[in-house]
Structure 1
Amino acid sequence: MKKFGLTLLTAFVGGAMALGGYRLVENKYASNMSFEDKQKVYLASNHMSPATTLSSAGQTDFTEAAAAVTPAVVYIRTTYSSQPDNGQQSQLQQMFGDMFGQRVRPQMAPEMASGSGVIISPDGYIVTNNHVVDKAEKIEVVTNDHQDFKAKVIGTDPSTDLALIKIEGHDLPIVKLGNSDNVRVGEWVLAVGNPFKLTSTVTAGIVSAKGRNIGIIGSEDNQDENQNPFGRTQYQGQPKLNKAIESFIQTDAAINPGNSGGALVNTNGELIGINSAIASHTGSYEGYGFAIPINLAKKVLDDIEKYGAVKRGYVGISFKELDQDAAQQLHIDRTVGLYVDQVIPGGGAAQAGLEKGDIITKVEGNKVYESSDLQERVGRLEPGDKIHLTVLRGNDEKNFTVTLKPEAPVAKVAVSKSAEELFNKFGASFIPVSSTQKAKFHINAGVVVTQVRDGGLFDYTEVPVGSVITEINRQPIANIDDIDHALNNLKNGLLTISGYYPDGSKLRSTIQVQ
């Protein structure tokens, strides 16, 4: 009996030591683990085995998936400070307020907005959309069991419209990260969020399409466009943010205002996307919802948690997505793929041997149909990572391995008093064009827009960073002094800006500044 008791005691002590050691190792290395690895540890330590992967077509009972996901989808309230102006509106507000459909009136109380988020870590990390928390002065999170938390922003990524926020908590429910590469068109999915402030709402639908690039990230509001209930519009023109990465999962699961930042999950309750946008003429659900694929989000969120920002690698090319019209314009007979129209000197593509006129037909062995097929894959990688491209050069198919490079830094120039004054007037900064840009745009002189301030003149005119200005009111622009001179010699208060957008299309904008 004594021997049995001693054996039992030894087993108990050994188990306790093993558990204690496990917890010590877990805590020691947790800071270096990705969110997916943290989830695996959490699920293993809580004796939760991942669900067996099933075809959604064979499982139409959504009760288990809804029950698993709903506790980890949160309601987000944001507050934006707005001071009473006592009639002292800024000149730009007075000039452009009505023109751009803004509500120009005294605000006596903070403005409020709301959205959704998904808990992805038991210690309180939450993924949501950048546009849900952007510029918010205060962020509150209400969990499914009605607990209130104050949240802080860990980091945001406007290029993918993702944000990582955090609340102070432990052993919080999570939604298991899935694999969006395995998502199939036609499979059942659930959208979970808080539409119209109706918390913990679950809707069902199917995956309608994958890899959608709808040009919505970074686009500006236009009254004539299809309104998006998340404060954004369908894109019809040049986006402000020219580095947007879009490869949306399209679904017909009902998504409405307040769903933004919520979960798109498969019938196993695995997170496959973050709901972000809809296409609608009315501002409400019309059958077309879009979610950011979770495999793209994983890299973004892990980078934000580790570095506070996203580390991206770049192929070093500009390209055109081929279709019938593009093929005719380029005088080629290929209507599918990506036509390389510029190879950046010193970039990864140039070093690998890609050339202007090559047509990218495959990325990592997968056929390329749209720009998102390349952009999403590159968006998951970092500088130094390699990507395999197959291109058509003439009648020959060639394979290249491209080592991604970090983005080339913007040249630093001394800021004169004149440049500072110009920034205050225009809400933008400029540097002279480089020899490479002169060749790209076929110009002899001009200035490049390097910064655009929110609410400034260039912000209202939708002139994005990277644009080249060659003329103002038909006066040639070669340097900053030329801009200053043109601004101080307006006729009838009209300002006409001419040049090129970053993609090479012509820019021409006329505004009244008096």
Structure 2
Amino acid sequence: MNRPFWRTLMCCALAVGFVAVGDVQAQGAPAAPALPDFTGIVQKNAPAVVHVEAKYDGSRTNSMYMQGQGQGQGNPNDPQWIFRHFFGMPSMPSPGQQAHISLGSGFIISSDGYILTNNHVVAHANKVTVRLQDRRTLVAKVVGTDPTYDIALLKINAGKPLPTVTIGDSHTLKAGQWVLAIGSPFGFDYTVTQGIVSAVGRNLGAGDQPDTSFIQTDVPINRGNSGGPLFNLKGQVVGINSQIYSDTGGYMGVSFSIPIDVAMNAVQQLKTKGYVTRGMLGVEIRPVGSDVVKALKLPDANGAIVVTVSPGSAAERAGIQPGDIILGFNGHAIEQGADLPPMVAMTRPGTRVPVEVLRNGKRLTLEATIGTMPRDKNALMGQVNPAARGGTAALGLTVQPLDKDTREQLGLKAGQGVVISDITGPVAAQAGLQNGDVILMVNQQKIDSVDAFRAATAHVKPGDTVLLLVRRGSQTNFVSLSVPSGKSGSGN
């Protein structure tokens, strides 16, 4: 009886396969390397990964600063919209919505309860909670945030030492190396995904964190993974999962992580002074395009060409001129224009560094003393002596003196204003006030110190309405705070 045709083909294919394998083995070719086993890394590190919940009142997006700024889902035809934070800022609430809960991930970096996550996980939150692997849920304090690097430092009090991750060195990463992520995509805690490093030093351009060189991977990442750790095969954290490239909002094979070296630099600054300082050279640059290569008869398109030099900047003092092509910074080659901003930003202000430039066909090495980049005015202002703080439970906020740098950046004179260091209750939160806002007046009374703020708010009681003159960045406006009748208005 004849065998069916399809079975004959299958047998032939198997036979050919056996012969091929035999031939290879006979030639002594090495066996294919085994795939890595991640179970040990997961078992050791999962207890240090946490689930983060951020609650915020929907009315905060309706403040004077948010109106007309295009908050919402975004336009999918806009190229910048493609870069979606996969935890993301919540979309604009409808008038009927009163509160939101957003989900993300984080990881414990010290046994006393410091946790690292993304700024966009907790931004504008009234309350942040953390769920541990043992299912305990604890309220977290936001120690400080840095929107530029998209870093947030949280602190919990667990009552006992906590398991921690091991911090690695992101500088050692290379394309092709295995990495894995642990997080809470769509709220599914302790989900593990793996992939390889697709590229390092990836800059997303001026529209999306120009001062960060991202780690690009193909690790499957989705909503809720944001703020979670990226591990190497040694079980060390080398990055914080931050963004995906997507035109659908879901994973499409391209993910971006913040290098852990950048994050830990920010952590130390947030702990000590409450904000992150970045270096500034003071130049506007462009990539070296083919037209520049042709016009200047360059051997290649390496470097960044200087378009403008800011007056009084580190670049001007160093002698850098428009038209110079920056080829090296502090001993590191500049292969493309996007390489320079992260290098400068990570340089401590006041550091003297060599800058190699090409000018009129000649290489010059100039010495630049790096300046200080104006920081985000909305960043948390950090810890100060409690005696230097002032506040009122009824208004739900605490203030502290303005430091010299912030005063200069805002163009304020000595004795002008106090800065909000903490939002402690719903009255200030619902009015849209934020940490970092500067209060210039209370009920038309100028505020020049914490004591003046205490005096101006000392008699606020339930049922009162207080008018504040508030400065945020370059905007100044009046904000009214109404204290509910019959209760103090204080909150967590």
- What TM-score does the superposition give when structure 1 sets the normalisation length? 0.60
- Superposition deviation, residue 104 in structure 1: 5.7
The reply on whether 1:68 has 2:44 as its aligned counterpart is: yes
What residue number does 1:451 align with? 474
Query: In structure 1, what is the equivalent of residue 141 of structure 2?
Result: 152
Q: Match of 1:211?
A: 201
Give the drift of 1:95: 11
Matches within 5 A, 1:348-387: 348-387=314-353
Provide the residue aligned with 2:267 in structure 1. Answer: 301
**Residue 103 to residue 293, structure 1, CA distance change in 2 (3 Å):** closer
Residue equivalent to 2:56: 80
Mapped to 1, the partners of 2:72 and 2:189 lie a distance apart of: 34
Q: Does 1:403 align with 2:369?
A: yes
Go from structure 1 to structure 2 and tell me whether the alpha carbon gap of 1:161 and 1:98 turns closer, same or farther (over 3 Å shift). Answer: closer
| Gapped regions of structure 2 (runs ≥ 5) | 1-32, 76-90, 375-407, 414-471, 480-492
The percentage of aligned residue pairs carrying the same residue is 37
CA distance, structure 2, for counterparts of residue 98 and residue 252 of structure 1: 27
Spell out, residue by residue over 1:53-93, the C-alpha distance to the aligned partner (whole angstroms, 9 max, x if none).
xxxx88712122222221111100111113599xx999997
User: Structure 1, residues 455-482: CA drift from partner, whole Å, max 9, x if none?
Assistant: x9xxxxxxxxxxxxxxxxxxxxxxxxxx
Letter in 2 for 1:136: A
| Secondary structure in structure 1 of the residue aligned to 2:171 | helix
- Aligned pairs (5 A) from 1:108-147: 108-147=97-136
Contact 2:60/2:124 (<8 A) preserved? no
TM-aligned CA deviation for residue 318 of structure 1? 1.6
Query: How many angstroms apart in 1 are the aligned matches of 2:259 and 2:124?
Result: 24
Distance 2:329 2:222 in 1: 34
Say if 1:263 and 1:275, in contact at 8 Å, map to a contact too.
yes
Contact 1:83–1:109 under 8 Å retained in 2:
yes
1:303 and 1:393, CA in 2 relative to 1: closer, same or farther beyond 3 A? same
Decide whether aligned partners of structure 1 residues 188 and 106 sit closer, same or farther in structure 2, where only a CA change above 3 A counts: same
Q: Could you tell me how far apart the structure 2 residues matched to 1:400 and 1:412 are?
A: 31
Higher helix proportion:
1
Report deviation, 1:336.
2.0
1:394 paired with 2:366, answer no
1:196 correspondence with 2:186: yes
- Residue of structure 1 in register with 2:157 after alignment: 168
Q: Give the corresponding residue for 1:443.
A: none
Answer yes or no: is the 8 Å Cα contact 2:305–2:337 preserved in 1.
no
Q: Indicate the residue corresponding to 2:95 in structure 1.
A: 106
For residues 197-224 of structure 1, the C-alpha deviation after alignment (integer angstroms, 9 at most, x for no partner) is 1100111100000111124xxxxxxxxx
- TM alignment of 1:229-240, pairs within 5 A: 239=207
Is the 8 Å Cα contact of residues 203 and 339 (structure 2) preserved in structure 1?
Answer: no
Task: Choose the corresponding residue for 2:313, options 347, 356, 360.
Answer: 347
Task: Please show how residues 9-20 of structure 1 align to structure 2 within 5 Å.
Answer: none
Q: Pairwise mapping of residues 14-53 of structure 1 onto structure 2 (< 5 A)?
A: none
8 Å CA contact retained: 1:299, 1:381: no
CA contact (8 A) 1:321 1:371 kept: yes
Distance 1:91 1:140, change over 3 A: closer
- Paired residues of 2:51 and 2:189 also in contact (CA < 8 A): yes
**Structure 1 equivalent of residue 411 of structure 2:** 412
Pair 1:411–1:200, CA change in 2 (3 A): closer
In structure 2, do the counterparts of structure 1 residues 168 and 90 end up closer, same or farther at CA, with 3 Å as the change threshold?
A: closer
Question: 1:191 offset after TM fit, Å?
Answer: 1.2
Q: 2-side partners of 1:155 and 1:89: how far apart?
A: 22
Contact 1:75 1:141 (C-alpha < 8 Å) held by counterparts: yes
Give the aligned partner of residue 315 of structure 1: 281
Cα deviations by residue, 1:360-387 (Å, 9 ceiling, x for unpaired)? 1122333212344222222322211233
Residue 385 (structure 2) aligns with: none
Summarize the Cα distance change of 1:256–1:104 in structure 2 as closer, same or farther, 3 Å threshold. Answer: closer
Matches of 1:98 and 1:275, distance apart in 2? 22
Give the partner amino acid of 2:39.
Answer: T
Q: Is the 8 A contact 1:176 1:271 kept in 2?
A: yes
Task: Count residues in correspondence.
Answer: 339
Q: What displacement does 1:103 show?
A: 5.2
SS in structure 1 opposite 2:43?
helix
1:128 and 1:91 mapped to 2: Cα distance?
25
Q: In the TM superposition, what is the alpha-carbon distance from 1:146 to its structure 2 partner?
A: 1.2
The 5-angstrom pairing of residues 316-335 of structure 1 reads 316-324=282-290, 333=298, 335=301
Unpaired stretches in structure 1, ≥5 consecutive residues: 1-56, 216-237, 415-448, 457-514
Matched with 1:224 is: none
Given the alignment, which residue of 331, 337, 342 partners 2:303? Answer: 337
Change (3 A) 1:67 1:331: same
State whether residues 210 and 341 of structure 2, in contact with CA within 8 Å, keep that contact through their aligned partners in structure 1.
no
1:76 is matched by which residue type in structure 2?
Answer: V
Q: Relative to 1, partners in 2 of residues 1:84 and 1:360: Cα closer, same or farther, differing over 3 Å?
A: closer
| Distance of 1:180 and 1:106 partners within structure 2 | 44
